[in-house]
Amino acid sequence: MDIGISAATITDIEAALAQVSEIKAARVVASEDGFIQEIHVLALPNKTPKQIVRDIESTIMASFGIAIDHKKISIAQLGPDVMPQSGPKQSARAQIKSINAEISGVQAVITVALELEGDTYVGQSLGPNSQTGRKRLVSQATLNAIEEYLHGAMSFALEDVDIVDLGSESVAVACVTLVTSLGEQAFAGSALVRQNEKDSIVRATLDAINRRMGFLTTS
């Protein structure tokens, strides 16, 4: 007999599934009375769909005590040529190589270079040369560099980025939406302003997608 999810929200279950290394996105569909009807997952090709289904069943049972009928689980796997090697490694280390700004009249071009797994990936973003605009350009260029690393397997939408004061500290905060064929998920990240605002915005942006991708950052 199915068990309702009154003790655990859909968000909790999706977050738990996101911790499974092969799963890159998950969407849980529940009925109005709280019963899981469908689970849709986007996964790397590291394991067979049958193995991934077992991992999903085990994760939900261990975390929430809910038994899932395997027929309710739908797996979509990325092709081996879509992800670099077997996909981004858990703890892939993103090193900030450079952040450059070129100003031309009312326009600005921000270029962010990141090193991942020994290779350099460059993202650029062009837009208005305003104080708010430059912050967004730095964050967007960072996302563009990561999309370059992922070879288009995932897409990110920048919702907002800013520098805020918290007590005696200045903090860069970023909100990013991950867009996949299964839908959208929003993530937030932050970083204390230590070297300069641009550096901290890059780190905050990486911290946001770190909720999904598992990136660690270095200077």
Residue pLDDT, tens place only, 57-70 = 998 888 888 888 88
Position 33 scores a pLDDT of 78
Helix, strand, coil proportions of the chain in percent (round to 5)? 30, 40, 30
Cα separation of 168 and 10, whole Å? 37
In the chain, which stretches have pLDDT less than 70? 1-8, 79-92, 152-153, 181-183, 211-219
Contact between 167 and 198 (Cβ < 8 Å): no
pLDDT at position 155: 82
